[in-house]
Structure formats: structure tokens, C-alpha cells
Amino acid sequence: MPHKLTLIVTLLCSSLISQVGFSDDWPQWGGPQQDLVWRETGIVKTLPTTGLLPRVWSTPIGEGYAGPAVAEVNSRWCVFVTDRTFKQRVGYERVLCLDAETGKPIWKHEYPVEYSVSYPAGPRSTPVINDGRVYTLGAQGHLFCFDAASGDVLWSKNFVEDYGTKLPTWGMVASPLVDGDQLITLVGGQKDSLIVSFDKATGKELWRALNDRAVGYAPPVIFTFGGKRELIVWHPTAVSALEPQTGKLIWEVPYGVRYGLSIATPRKVGNRLFVASFYNGPRMIEVSNDGTQAKIVWSGKSDSEIKTDGLHPIMMTPIFDGTHIYGVCSYGQLRCLDASNGRRLWETEKATGKGRWWNAFIIPHEDRYFLHNEQGDLIIANLTPKGYDEISRAKLIEPTRRVQRRMTIWSHPAFAMKSVFARNDKEIIRVDLSAK
């Protein structure tokens, strides 16, 4: 009898757990697996069609392009975001930790910084949360490691002072990557320090690698090719694969981009790797079966952002599902490409708008997609080789920054706790998207 009772209780608990589900986090750029996929279940199928989506909370913040990160810290769900404010005409970058349930501040760290970069609204890089620590990178190259619970600074680096970094035109953007005991990040310094690995606990340099004329903006990412893990670094002159533990070069494919605009996160399916630049367009790279060599198998036909045939994204990372690629081109065209040859299958401006640098982020979820465009709309849609099918759309947050006579939001939301966390230059919000 006791065994039967135990079995019944276990089955009931399992049933309840499967119905309620667990909250997922978004602890870094691109989410838990750095692939921009939202994997939580029990999410709404449609959105209300009138007015702003109802908020769980809204908290005032300053200016910035950096998206938020969300994770559990000491049994408490927290949101981390960076911004820029002014005191007596002095600019400060801030790191904010908020209670994810209420939006109330838990701690903040601020430091004075004078901007020399273009579009000086605020930080760009998404915080990284790992093992009780949070890592942030400011627009001027200030890297910090904090105790995530208390906000105490554990270690820090100043790339300009420590590595002689020549800051890119639009500032330091690429979010760092945690891999095991190391924190890997673009530095853009002198003496083979385009990318540097630090001990994530102490900040001690472990290795450095690569040289380039510019830093670039694409975050490093780790993929497996030929059964071996490879650190992929897309920088302004090439796509390079390194050994993650040593920084040793495995292979490299030349791909020079204008103005150093390597921005989108490289996407992988099988042994193929997709990258695309605003001016120079897309490239599909094929890695050998043993992971030691790589080559470009097709390229876009246009080397201009004005007359484009393929995909020329500016800020968003395209979605590569193995057979097709979806992304937003240089003037706001949402496009689908055949992944086998780069041929464009369709385009539409229904989800976006028409204008230079027009942007929208695409987040796969189950059998559909969430899109967050720069007008602050949240859209649920189907994207297939046949076309764009919009299911519903609602206003998530108001755009606050003027660019070319239009108001914009250029920061990527976080999708966690069955919610979306979004920010503009005035507030950060949480909207519950759980199915009722």
C-alpha cells in the first residue's frame, strides 16, 4: 500500500509539473543557447489588438541600446540592464539589477564615462549572467564582473587603457561569452588581442588571439563541427574558428566587410554557417566533416546595401532553419532566402516599414515566430517558404529615439518567465505572455 500511495503521489506531482511548467531564463544575448529561440511552453497564441499590452510592471531607466538579461539569482528572479544617465552634465553608464517579479531596484553600479562613439545614447552589449556573477561591457570598453546578488565589483578591465583598443565607430557592442571557467570577449587591442579569454572568477588573462584593423560587433559563439567544439569569431576581415581553450586558429575564411560591420551572430545548421553584412551581403560557409577546413559555397550577388538581391541586415540576426533563411534587409524588407543557393523567395514590408536601417528582431517559438519591430510592435506570425502570414500584433512599448525622421527602438527584448522584457530610453517593462 505505501508503494502504491508513493506512485500515485509521484504521478500527480509529475502531472502538475507538466501542466504548470518551469520558468525559463534569458541569461545572455540570444537566450539560454545563444540561438534566439524561445523554448518556454504555455505561451499565448494571439495578442490583444487594441492599446498597449498590459504590463506586470514598468520601471524608469535611462538611455541605451542594450537588451536586458533575466535569470534566477539565489532563488530570486532578477533582470539586469545597462543604461546611460547624466549628473551635472557628466555622463554615467549604469548597471541595474531589478526584481523580475516587481521591477523594483535591487542594486545599481554607476561610473563616469565620456562617449567618443557615434550614436552615443548608451551601452549596447547585453549583460551575461553565470554562476552567481553578472558581466557587463560598456560602449567605451569598460568590462565589469559583479556579484550578481550584491552588486559588488569582483574585477574589471578597461580595454582602452589595458589593451590599447581603438574603439569601433559605434562602440563596443558584442556581448561576452561564458564557456566553462572562462569569459571570452572581443577586445580589439594590440598584439594579437582582437579576442581575449579571461578567467571568469578572477579576470586573469588566459589567452589572446587574432589581429584585425577593426574590432567588429558580432558576439563570439561556440559550435560543434566534426565532433569538436569551435569558437567562431566573425570579425571585419574574416570568419575565424579557434580552439576555445587555447585560442589556437583552426581555420579561417576571408570575408572583408565595409566599415567593420560584422554584426549579426553567425548561424549554424549541420556543417554550414551563415553570416550576412549590411553592405556586403550574405555568405554561406561550409565546414569540412572533420572540422578543420572551411570554404564559402555561395555569396550574395550584391555588394551594396541599396540594390540588394539577398539579405543585408544591419542589427538583427537572421534565422537559419536548415533549408531557409529569414531576415530583415537594409531598407526594412523582411525576406526569405533559399538556404541552398541564397536565392530570394519572397519579401514583404508588412511586419516592418520602408526606410534605411529599418529593423525588426525575429524570435522562433514552437511552430511560429515572434517579431519585435523598431516601432515597438510585438507580432506573432508564420514564416514559411510561401510567405509571411501575420496572426496578430499589439503595441509592446513606445519607440523613443528619433532616427531619420522616425521614432525607433533598437534593443532586443528578453523572453523569460513566460514574459517579454523590453526597454526603450525611458522605461523597462515586463509583459506576461502566458496562456491563461
Model confidence pLDDT, tens digit, residues 242-270: 999 999 999 999 999 999 999 999 999 99
Question: Does one domain contain both 232 and 138?
Answer: no
- Widest Cα–Cα separation across the chain: 75
Give me the number of domains the chain comprises: 2
| Mean pLDDT, the chain, whole residue set | 93
Amino acid symbol at 337: L
pLDDT for the residue 20 = 40
pLDDT for the residue 19 = 37
CA 273 to chain centre: 17
Question: Does one domain contain both 102 and 153?
Answer: yes
Report whether pLDDT(8) > 70. no
Question: Does one domain contain both 220 and 289?
Answer: yes
Q: Does some domain include residue 322?
A: no
227/206 Cα distance (integer angstroms)? 24
CA 251 to chain centre: 25
Question: Does one domain contain both 108 and 167?
Answer: yes
pLDDT digits (tens, 9 = 90+) for 403-429: 888 999 999 999 999 999 999 999 999
239/245 Cα distance (integer angstroms)? 18
pLDDT for the residue 23 = 74
pLDDT digits (tens, 9 = 90+) for 115-142: 999 988 999 999 999 999 999 999 999 9
Instruction: For residue 39, give the nearest of 30, 47, 29 by alpha carbon.
Output: 30
**Secondary structure element (H or E) that encloses residue 169, with its range:** none
Q: Is 334:312 a contact under the CB 8 Å cutoff? A: no
Confidence of residue 5 (pLDDT cuts 50, 70, 90): very low
Confidence of residue 49 (pLDDT cuts 50, 70, 90): confident
Confidence of residue 53 (pLDDT cuts 50, 70, 90): very high
Question: Does one domain contain both 201 and 307?
Answer: yes
Question: Does one domain contain both 116 and 235?
Answer: no
Question: Does one domain contain both 167 and 185?
Answer: no
Q: Is 123:138 a contact under the CB 8 Å cutoff? A: yes
Q: 252: domain range?
A: 180-311
Amino acid symbol at 118: S
Amino acid symbol at 353: G
CATH number (domain holding residue 293) = 2.130.10.10
pLDDT for the residue 349 = 93
Stretch 48-53: mean pLDDT: 85
pLDDT for the residue 129 = 99
Instruction: For residue 134, give the nearest of 180, 35, 190, 200 by alpha carbon.
Output: 200
274/282 Cα distance (integer angstroms)? 7
Which of 175, 190, 208 represents a domain boundary (last residue)? 175
According to DSSP, residue 259 is labeled G
pLDDT digits (tens, 9 = 90+) for 325-355: 999 998 889 999 999 999 999 999 999 988 8
Stretch 80-84: mean pLDDT: 98
Report whether pLDDT(15) > 80. no
Q: Does some domain include residue 326?
A: no
pLDDT for the residue 404 = 81
Report whether pLDDT(433) > 80. yes
pLDDT for the residue 25 = 96
254/262 Cα distance (integer angstroms)? 12
Q: Does some domain include residue 421?
A: no
Q: Does some domain include residue 404?
A: no
CB burial of 156-168 (b: ≥16 within 10 Å; e: otherwise) equals ebebbebbebebb
Question: Does one domain contain both 36 and 158?
Answer: yes
pLDDT for the residue 22 = 59
Confidence of residue 6 (pLDDT cuts 50, 70, 90): very low
Q: Is 166:180 a contact under the CB 8 Å cutoff? A: no
Question: Does one domain contain both 201 and 122?
Answer: no
pLDDT for the residue 14 = 39
Report whether pLDDT(3) > 90. no
Percent of the chain with pLDDT over 70: 95
Of the two residues 58 and 7, the one the predictor is more confident about is 58
> Cell digits for 186?
572581443
CATH number (domain holding residue 130) = 2.40.10.480
Q: Does some domain include residue 327?
A: no
Question: Does one domain contain both 249 and 136?
Answer: no
Confidence of residue 357 (pLDDT cuts 50, 70, 90): confident
pLDDT for the residue 303 = 77
Question: Does one domain contain both 218 and 120?
Answer: no
Please write down the HEC assignment for all residues of 187-234: EEECCCEEEEEEECCCCCEEEEECCCCCCCCCCCEEEEECCEEEEEEE
- The residue with cell 530570394 is 344
Q: Does some domain include residue 336?
A: no
Which of 160, 175, 190 represents a domain boundary (last residue)? 175
Report whether pLDDT(151) > 80. yes
Confidence of residue 215 (pLDDT cuts 50, 70, 90): very high
Confidence of residue 88 (pLDDT cuts 50, 70, 90): confident
Which of 250, 277, 311 represents a domain boundary (last residue)? 311
pLDDT for the residue 276 = 95
Question: Does one domain contain both 197 and 294?
Answer: yes
Q: Is 32:25 a contact under the CB 8 Å cutoff? A: yes
Report whether pLDDT(10) > 80. no
